[in-house]
Chains A and B, each alone.
Chain A
């Protein structure tokens, strides 16, 4: 008997429908936790919109917007314990903020500051640019955590495009073979720059990719923060027992890949319209208002507070001393080589030759 592709059936976990109505039994999440989840989503959106504007004004460099993916990032990161580790790519600012990465430093990163990846003690690996490479660092990190008996889980964030990379598959294989405390959190935002998910992989789902590696997986509505948070809690329990898992959070990148491209060139505006109707903030807000734990006045105040925090973070970043050319020589090796010392001194003495 041939095993046909895509025979695997995977049901998507979802609690909130597109209008913010509970579909089945509500998950067991306390009201204060619900409010925290939403507040972080507001913070993420405000940061994102501000960053986009600042880039347009030329005050920060290239930025990869996360708008539309707030529930996936916030829901997953809010479930983590402090001892857990995040291995992010460039679009995971929101998840990093939740896990203690200073917003100020993310601005520094976009400004091209040498210390822009400094997590200041938070368990956040430097932002990864090479798609998929971070999956393997998470494998090694999870391994070290297990070896040191830390009870920590490593979470690697990757997009749908990233699942085409070899490193993703090698990491899945290693994680499963060695039973590592590791979660592959795939944000399927449907676009890898200009290439749609349908041209990225012929798999019906990304979740099913785990099956071939002997790993458990699940698909969640990535715009439903309750589904993401609840699923991530379950995933963490599994991972802490040495059972790595893959979560496919189905979401949508509402903006461009980065501030350097224009999605109008490659995607149908109708598709965006459909996804705007599934916006993660809108759903959660409707749910909370219905539940009578939130209202428009609180909402307005929260957006204002978030604006204030972003403004403060940006001010701190703008006023931070700029990276100097001299500094770059000191962070290549633990101890500067003679060549680097000579090159550094040449700048101080007589300018670059």
Chain B
């Protein structure tokens, strides 16, 4: 089992899936010769040719819309949006076309396609490169939204996404692309979409998070366990849509205290949905109000204030203290 970074795991999975199924085609800006700005598609054009690893003109709506047309006619496109903040350009083709094709055709046609995009903060990008917009798509029926937090998960989830018969938005936390290496089996495996992972079991507080904040929250949780003797259950949601309600409710019933940590802005963010679902399904198991540690309700800020704007250890610590105070 080789150790891989997340970006290596993604590259490896794309290669394996393209070998496995000749209907899989990659398309996007700079993904061919250049191998993608983060090298996710590095070397794939040499292996599979320009017909299967396609450098497209700069046109996000066209990239996604073309993928919809391809998918409906028997291909398995994997489209790359260079940075997730550019998805606004393709909003119609994502939310109104890819997401709704099955419904609009009365179940006759599907759009088995993946849209991959790097996203998330902490890497000091220019404007509209880091925004965590997963909430927009949680609110768009017909899509699945998947966010890996480790190289191992990236491989299993991406393979599942490519083989899925519905459109999957696969969001890759930029900060984690090369953050650490992990043993990733070369052999084929998939991780079921829609299932959360309990990273650590605990008794006192449930923390629900995903993507780039998973390593940060893990570290904070470890400190609370070691120094404060507080037992924390940590859930990596992995899939934002559909949300694994069962895993969440099960955990809340056990701990009675919940903290949700995400990089998306607070108002109308996925945390609001999770909080509402706990309210509906496990309110009377709660011992304290649910706390959301999210980014502030401003556009993604300039790099000089990014570290304060994003959920950080200090804010997560405050949140844990707050839920324990009740």
> Which residues of A are in contact with B by a Cβ distance under 8 Å?
85, 87, 114-119, 125-126, 130, 133, 135-145, 147-148, 154, 166-167, 170-171, 173-174, 177-178, 328, 330-334, 337-339
Q: When the two chains form the complex, which single residue of B66, B104, B245 contacts A136, counting CB atoms closer than 8 Å?
A: B66
Show 11 A/B contacts (Cβ-Cβ < 8 Å), sorted by A: A116-B106, A136-B64, A136-B65, A136-B93, A167-B61, A170-B62, A171-B62, A171-B65, A174-B66, A332-B141, A338-B242
Is B109 close to A, CB under 8 A? yes
The answer to whether B74 and A173 touch across the interface, beta carbons within 8 angstroms, is no
B50-87 CB contact bits vs A (8 Å, 1 = yes)? 01001011010110111111111111010000000000
User: Which A residues are in CB contact (< 8 Å) with B254?
Assistant: none
Contacts of A130 in B (CB 8 A): 92, 96-97
Q: Which 5 A-B pairs have the closest CB atoms?
A: A140-B69, A136-B65, A144-B73, A170-B62, A331-B107
Besides A170-B65, A332-B103, 19 more A-B contacts (Cβ < 8 Å) are A87-B69, A114-B106, A117-B106, A119-B108, A126-B108, A130-B96, A133-B65, A133-B96, A136-B97, A141-B72, A144-B70, A147-B75, A154-B69, A167-B92, A167-B93, A332-B142, A333-B166, A338-B245, A339-B245
Known contacts A137-B68, A170-B59; is-contact A117 B108 (Cβ 8 Å): yes
User: Are A167 and B194 in contact (CB-based, < 8 A)?
Assistant: no
A253 to B56, CA, bound (A): 36
Q: Which of A116, A117, A338 contacts B246 (CB 8 A)?
A: A338
- Contact partners of B144 in chain A: CB under 8 A: 333
**Residues in B lying within 8 Å of A, measured CB to CB:** 25, 51, 54, 56-57, 59, 61-62, 64-75, 77, 92-93, 96-97, 101-110, 141-142, 144, 165-166, 194, 242-243, 245-246
Give chain B residues whose Cβ lies under 8 Å from the Cβ of A148: 73-74
Cβ B108 vs Cβ A139 within 8 A:
no
Q: In whole Å, how far is B325's beta carbon from the nearest beta carbon of chain A?
A: 33
CA of A167 to CA of B51, assembled, Å:
22
Contact across chains for A147 and B25 when beta carbons are under 8 A apart: yes
Q: Chain B: which residue is nearest A166 at the CB level?
A: B61
Q: Which of A140, A141, A174, A331 contacts B103 (CB 8 A)?
A: A331
With CB as the reference atom, state the residue of chain A lying closest to B71: A140
- The reply to whether A177 and B242 form a contact with Cβ atoms under 8 Å apart is no
B194 touches A141 (CB 8 A): no
* Residue in contact with B104 in the complex, picked from A126, A173, A339, CB distance below 8 Å: A126
Inter-chain contacts of B142 with A (CB < 8 A): 332-333
Which residues of chain A come closer than 8 Å to B70, judged between CB atoms?
140-141, 143-144
Main secondary structure of the interface of A (DSSP, over half): helix
Asked if B62 and A174 sit within 8 Å, CB to CB, the answer is yes
Give the distance in Å from the alpha carbon of A139 to the alpha carbon of B101 in the complex. 16
Distance from B91 Cβ to chain A, minimum over Cβ atoms (Å): 11
Please determine whether B62 and A143 come into contact, CB atoms closer than 8 angstroms.
Answer: no
Q: What chain A residues lie within 8 Å of B73 (beta carbons)?
A: 85, 140-141, 144-145, 148
List B contacts of A85 (CB < 8 A).
73
- In this complex, what residue of B is CB-closest to A139? B66
A143–B182 Cα distance when bound, in Å, is 38
A137 to B72, CA, bound (A): 8
Q: Give Cα A114–Cα B105 distance, bound, in whole angstroms.
A: 8
Nearest CB to that of A339 among chain B residues?
B242
Cα separation A332 to B106 with both chains bound (whole Å): 9
Contact A140 B77 (CB under 8 A): yes
Whether B69 contacts A139 by the Cβ 8 Å rule is: yes
User: Among B74, B93, B104, which residue has the most Cβ atoms of chain A within 10 A?
Assistant: B104
- In the complex, which of the residues A136, A143, A174, A332 has the most CB atoms of chain B within 10 Å of its own CB atom? A136
A167 B106 Cβ-Cβ under 8 A: no
Please report the C-alpha to C-alpha distance between residue A170 and residue B67 in the assembled complex, in whole angstroms: 13
- Taking CB as reference atom, which chain A residue is nearest B57? A173
| Docked CA distance A6–B71 (Å) | 38
Are A337 and B242 also in contact (CB < 8 A) when A136-B66, A141-B72 are? yes
> How distant is the Cα of A92 from the Cα of B77 in the complex, in angstroms?
28
Known: A130-B97, A140-B71. A330 touches B107 (CB 8 A): yes
Cβ-defined partner of A115 (8 Å) among B75, B96, B106, B194: B106
Residue of B nearest to A144 (CB): B73
Contacts of A166 in B (CB 8 A): 61
Residues of A within 8 A of B59 (CB): 170, 173-174
When distances are taken between beta carbons in the complex, the residues of chain B under 8 Å from A145 are 73
Specify which of A117, A143, A174, A331 is in contact with B57 (CB 8 Å cutoff): A174
Contacts of A177 in B (CB 8 A): 57
- Among the interface residues A138, A141, A173, A177, which one has the most CB atoms of the partner chain B within 10 A? A141
- Cross-chain contact of B194 among A125, A331, A337 (Cβ < 8 A): A337
B302 → chain A, closest Cβ, in Å? 29
Contact B62 A173 (CB under 8 A): yes
Are A331 and B65 in contact (CB-based, < 8 A)? no
| B residues near A167, Cβ cutoff 8 Å | 61-62, 65, 92-93
Residues of chain B within 8 A of A115, CB atoms compared: 106
Q: B77 — which chain A residues lie within 8 A by C-beta? A: 140
A334 and B74 contacting across the interface, CB-CB below 8 Å: no
When chains A and B are docked, how far (Å) is the Cα of A87 from the Cα of B73? Answer: 12
B242 touches A126 (CB 8 A): no
Closest to A85 in B: B73
Nearest-neighbour CB distance to chain B for A265, whole angstroms, equals 29
A332–B101 alpha-carbon span in the complex (Å): 9
**How far does the Cβ of A86 sit from chain B's closest Cβ, in whole Å?**
13
**Which A residue sits closest to B74, measured CB to CB?**
A144
Q: Give the shortest distance, in Å, between B239 (CB) and chain A (any CB).
A: 10
Tell me if A117 and B69 are in contact (CB < 8 A): no
Q: CA A116 – CA B68 in complex, angstroms?
A: 20
Q: A136 and B166 in contact (CB under 8 A), knowing A114-B106, A174-B62, A331-B102?
A: no
